[in-house]
A and B are shown apart, each in its own frame.
Chain A
Amino acid sequence: MKRNYWIKIIISFVLLALLSGCWDSRDINYRSTPILMGVTKDEDLYHVYLIIPVSVVSEQRNLAKVDGKGATIVDAIEQIKKKIETTIDLEHIGFVVLGEELGREGIGKIINTFMRMRDMPATPTVAFTQEDMDSYIDQMIETFQKVGVPIFGFLEKQAGWEIYNPEVSLWQVYRGIHSYTSDIAIPIISSNENLEMDYFGASVLKNGKIVETLDALEVLLMNLLNNEENVIKTFITIDETTDVELVERDVEYDYKYNGDQIDLTIKLEFVMIVAEAEDHLNDEDIQKKFEEKVEKDTLQLVKKLQDKHADVLGISNRIRKNYTHNELKNFLNETYPNINVKVEVEAVIENNGKIRNLNNDDFEDWDKQKQD
Chain B
Amino acid sequence: MSDGKRKGFKVKINNLLIIIFFLVTNIGVMFLLYPSLILDTVDNGHWLIVLIHGFSHIALFGLLLFGVSKLKEPNILKNLPKKRWAVSLTLLVPISLFIIGTVIVAIRTYAEFTTVLFLNQTPMFYVMVIFITTAGYIGLGSMESIFRTTFLIAATSSYVIVVIFILSFFNAEWYNFFPAKVSNFDFLLEMPFITGFLILSPTFLFIAFLPKGKKFNYKTVFWFSWLLILFIFMAAYSPMLVFGNEIARNFTFPYIEMLATVDIDWSIFETLTSLFGLSLLIYATLFLGMLLHILRTLYQSIFQTSKLHASIAMVIIVIFITAVANMISTWEQVQSHIIWIVPLRFYTFISLLIFIFWIGRRDKHET
Please say whether the chains A and B touch (CB closer than 8 A). yes
Is B43 an interface position by the 8 A CB rule?
yes
**Which A62-119 residues sit within 8 Å CB-CB of chain B?**
91-92, 118-119
Is A6 an interface position by the 8 A CB rule?
no
A8 and B133 alpha carbons, distance in the complex (Å): 10
The answer on a CB contact under 8 Å between A175 and B183 is no
A122 and B122 alpha carbons, distance in the complex (Å): 23
The answer on a CB contact under 8 Å between A325 and B180 is no
The answer on a CB contact under 8 Å between A19 and B246 is no
Q: A171-B261, A325-B179 are in contact. Are A121 and B271 (CB under 8 A)?
A: yes
By a CB distance below 8 angstroms, the chain B residues around A320 are 175-176, 178-179
Please encode chain A, from 4 to 46, with 1 for each CB lying within 8 Å of some chain B CB and 0 for all others: 1000100010011001010110000000000000000000000
The answer on a CB contact under 8 Å between B261 and A19 is no
The answer on a CB contact under 8 Å between A324 and B179 is yes
Q: A169-B261, A321-B175 are in contact. Are A24 and B122 (CB under 8 A)?
A: yes
Of A176-184, A228-236, A337-345, the stretch lying at the interface with chain B is A176-184
By a CB distance below 8 angstroms, the chain A residues around B363 are none
User: Closest residue of chain B to A170, judged by CB?
Assistant: B261
A171 and B263 alpha carbons, distance in the complex (Å): 11
Please encode chain A, from 103 to 146, with 1 for each CB lying within 8 Å of some chain B CB and 0 for all others: 00000000000000011011100000000000000000000000
| A44 CB, nearest partner CB in chain B, Å | 28
Please encode chain B, from 244 to 259, with 1 for each CB lying within 8 Å of some chain A CB and 0 for all others: 1111001000000100
By a CB distance below 8 angstroms, the chain A residues around B123 are 23
A92 and B137 alpha carbons, distance in the complex (Å): 36
| A207 CB, nearest partner CB in chain B, Å | 13
Is A262 an interface position by the 8 A CB rule?
no
A335 and B43 alpha carbons, distance in the complex (Å): 20
By a CB distance below 8 angstroms, the chain A residues around B183 are 324
Q: A23-B122, A328-B179 are in contact. Are A122 and B133 (CB under 8 A)?
A: no
By a CB distance below 8 angstroms, the chain B residues around A169 are 261, 263
Is B181 an interface position by the 8 A CB rule?
yes
The answer on a CB contact under 8 Å between B122 and A321 is no
The answer on a CB contact under 8 Å between B126 and A21 is yes
| B247 CB, nearest partner CB in chain A, Å | 5
The answer on a CB contact under 8 Å between A326 and B260 is no
| B237 CB, nearest partner CB in chain A, Å | 14
B43, B129, B178, B257: the one contacting A326 at CB < 8 Å is B43
A272 and B308 alpha carbons, distance in the complex (Å): 79
By a CB distance below 8 angstroms, the chain A residues around B190 are none
The answer on a CB contact under 8 Å between B122 and A325 is no
| B314 CB, nearest partner CB in chain A, Å | 11
Is A318 an interface position by the 8 A CB rule?
yes
Is B230 an interface position by the 8 A CB rule?
no
User: Closest residue of chain A to B247, judged by CB?
Assistant: A178
By a CB distance below 8 angstroms, the chain B residues around A164 are none
Is B144 an interface position by the 8 A CB rule?
no
A-B contact count (CB 8 A): 94
The answer on a CB contact under 8 Å between B126 and A324 is no
Of B21-29, B113-121, B215-223, the stretch lying at the interface with chain A is B113-121
Q: A91-B270, A317-B175, A324-B43 are in contact. Are A122 and B247 (CB under 8 A)?
A: no
| B44 CB, nearest partner CB in chain A, Å | 4
The answer on a CB contact under 8 Å between A121 and B43 is no
| B107 CB, nearest partner CB in chain A, Å | 15
By a CB distance below 8 angstroms, the chain A residues around B44 are 324-325
Q: A4-B311, A21-B130, A171-B260 are in contact. Are A325 and B175 (CB under 8 A)?
A: no
The answer on a CB contact under 8 Å between B121 and A123 is no
A16 and B127 alpha carbons, distance in the complex (Å): 11
The answer on a CB contact under 8 Å between A179 and B130 is no
Is B140 an interface position by the 8 A CB rule?
yes
Is B151 an interface position by the 8 A CB rule?
no
The answer on a CB contact under 8 Å between B126 and A180 is no
A24, A317, A323, A325: the one contacting B246 at CB < 8 Å is A325
Please encode chain B, from 168 to 204, with 1 for each CB lying within 8 Å of some chain A CB and 0 for all others: 0000010111111101000000000000000000000
The answer on a CB contact under 8 Å between A324 and B181 is yes
A370 and B271 alpha carbons, distance in the complex (Å): 66
The answer on a CB contact under 8 Å between A16 and B247 is no
Q: A123-B260, A169-B261, A321-B175 are in contact. Are A19 and B129 (CB under 8 A)?
A: yes
By a CB distance below 8 angstroms, the chain A residues around B126 are 19, 21, 23
The answer on a CB contact under 8 Å between A178 and B140 is no
A320 and B44 alpha carbons, distance in the complex (Å): 11
Q: A169-B261, A318-B175 are in contact. Are A23 and B121 (CB under 8 A)?
A: yes
Is A174 an interface position by the 8 A CB rule?
yes
The answer on a CB contact under 8 Å between A21 and B122 is yes
Is B243 an interface position by the 8 A CB rule?
yes
User: Closest residue of chain B to A172, judged by CB?
Assistant: B261
User: Closest residue of chain A to B119, judged by CB?
Assistant: A24
By a CB distance below 8 angstroms, the chain A residues around B261 are 122-123, 169, 171
User: Closest residue of chain A to B137, judged by CB?
Assistant: A12
A111 and B121 alpha carbons, distance in the complex (Å): 24
Please encode chain B, from 136 to 175, with 1 for each CB lying within 8 Å of some chain A CB and 0 for all others: 1100100000000000000000000000000000000101
**6 A–B contacts from the bound complex (CB under 8 Å):** A8-B137, A15-B133, A21-B119, A122-B260, A175-B247, A325-B246
B positions within 8 Å CB-CB of A: 43-44, 116, 118-123, 126, 129-130, 133, 136-137, 140, 173, 175-181, 183, 243-247, 250, 257, 260-261, 263, 270-271, 308, 311
Contacts A23-B121, A321-B177 supplied; 15 other A-B pairs, CB < 8 Å: A4-B308, A16-B130, A24-B118, A91-B270, A171-B260, A171-B261, A175-B243, A178-B250, A179-B244, A181-B244, A314-B175, A324-B183, A325-B246, A327-B179, A328-B246
* Interface pairs A-B: 10 shortest CB-CB: A325-B43, A321-B178, A320-B178, A122-B260, A23-B121, A325-B44, A23-B122, A171-B261, A123-B263, A317-B175
